[in-house]
A and B are shown apart, each in its own frame.
Chain A
């Protein structure tokens, strides 16, 4: 029945995001840099303001009312995260500064305990620098080796090559769910299944996935999962590390300090229980509460509705932009979403970015912190359009026309 079909009212949604109504160089902002960071709905902005106006105090340590209220609000945000990706235990939800912090925590702490000389860690060629460098640092320290799953010309990982890379030496696998520079969706479920058949834990970098579709960590059965709040319509400086208790219990603390202890003497310190063992120091309390609000906001719209709208929008963008003369899409994976990376013949991405900016269009140009991906395609950089559910087909049409202007400038 037609009445059952829910349609995302994008004009109504756009009213929720104040920044979308600003002008850039006198033109309405077209924000196509969502893979770098997403804009914040008014409810999130107001929540942060409200926190500082009415709740500001430190958490987990005061008996006074403000501290207790702030603690409750903070812990409610953790519960919202738990329900959002269907985790089962609050002890498995660690609040961090972001994806980079989450991955570093695992590389450092899991690495300290479990990685030894001669061991191997597998990542993919699609990784963001934040899922490469922490493992390189670990490998250097421990005398372990980093192995990389290769990609094909479409920008998809070669699964058979992955199967061959796994060996007795493999002790950890860390792969990205959705590539930030190409939009490729990796077959993480299959990767996890294969890894688990060999008892190897897997970390999923969900920085570019969590905002686009429903993730169920129990169904996925990943051992760790990392994401950033600011790519999920929440403030910057907050993120999440999901980890299975069986690993987190065994892992030593990442940072020492306040909040992560149960008792301290100069002779011996005992650590706090999970998840607090990994949460040293005063966090970005307002940001975490804001992340809870962002999750409420997304739930209200519905992740399934967001996914279907974004899928339709991406298909439109892909067809429309691919038809622009002298434009070559970079990364043409079968399973791809949200990100359209491209090159224009004879024109450097940086120049494209500056010229589009004059039409109010914000895109990302550069290597997107994925230099190995750029090297694989033999290019120094790409221009990248990345979409959100507040973007429209009109904005894509406008951008396709603006791209033609780039050629006018360059004659």
Chain B
């Protein structure tokens, strides 16, 4: 298989696509947002339990491609326990990563498992898939109930 393709569909991504973590509706969520990518019809809901600006719990449900689903799954795993500020910082760095604007090897390493999405930068059409969950998280953190769209 083509190495660029393998770079995109890394094992971690395929694993999270197959068995997404925190894939449920959080019943006692106090923050929620709905994300939508009209380009491909991807749709997801992010639920948060935010206490004193700390993400006590997080979950998501929705429908999407392997990139968007695994991105949402990895995001929930990584953001859990982080402060709102830390989560927003990760979003910023993640966005830089998938758009090819994060060059520093240390900074990439600091993203941990999220670094598997580095391959996305070679696929401009798929950047929105990878970032949909994060955009939705950003809205949920700021507790606006409106629908967000990546278009």
How distant is B110 from chain A, measured CB to nearest CB, in Å?
A: 28
CA distance A374 to B9 in the complex (A): 26
Task: Give the A-B contact count at a CB cut-off of 8 A.
Answer: 57
Complex contact B66–A410 (CB within 8 A): yes
Q: Is B27 an interface residue (CB 8 A)?
A: no
Q: Which 4 A/B pairs are nearest by Cβ-Cβ distance?
A: A380-B41, A348-B65, A350-B65, A381-B41
Number of interface residues of B (CB under 8 A): 23
A341 within 8 A of partner (CB): no
Q: Which residues of B contact A (CB under 8 A)?
A: 1-2, 4-5, 8-9, 14, 17, 39-43, 63-67, 69, 123, 125-126, 129
Q: Is the CB of A348 within 8 A of B64?
A: yes
Do B1 and A409 have beta carbons less than 8 Å apart? yes
Residue of A nearest to B17 (CB): A410
Judged by a CB distance under 8 angstroms, whether A150 is at the interface is: no
A350-B129, A354-B123 known; A380 and B42 CB under 8 Å? Answer: yes
A292 CB-CB contact with B under 8 Å: no
Provide the residues of chain B in CB contact with A409, threshold 8 Å: 1, 5, 9, 14
Residue of A nearest to B66 (CB): A351
| Contact call A350/B2, Cβ cutoff below 8 A | no
Contact A366 to B40, CB < 8 A, known contacts A351-B65, A358-B2: yes
**A374 — which chain B residues lie within 8 A by C-beta?**
41
Whether the Cβ atoms of B66 and A349 lie closer than 8 Å is: no
Known A354-B123, A411-B14: A380·B66 in contact at CB below 8 Å:
no
Q: A354-B125, A358-B5, A365-B40 are in contact. List 4 more A-B contacts (CB 8 A).
A: A348-B66, A355-B9, A358-B2, A380-B43
Which A350-370 residues sit within 8 Å CB-CB of chain B? 350-351, 354-355, 358, 365-367
Q: How far is the CA of A365 from the CA of B65 in the complex (A)?
A: 11
Answer whether residue A25 sits at the interface, using C-beta atoms and an 8 A cutoff.
yes
Does A193 sit within 8 A of B, measured CB to CB? no
Q: Which residues of A contact B126 (CB under 8 A)?
A: 350, 354
Contacts of A366 in B (CB 8 A): 39-41
Q: In the bound complex, what is the Cα–Cα distance between A351 and B67 (angstroms)?
A: 8
A367 to B8, CA, bound (A): 23
User: Could you say which of A349, A354, A411 contacts B8, with CB atoms under 8 Å apart?
Assistant: A354
Say yes or no: A349 contacts B40, CB within 8 Å: yes
Interface contact B64-A410, CB-CB below 8 Å: no
B123 closest partner in A (C-beta): A354
Task: Output the least CB separation between A27 and chain B (Å).
Answer: 10
B40:A380 contact, CB within 8 angstroms: yes
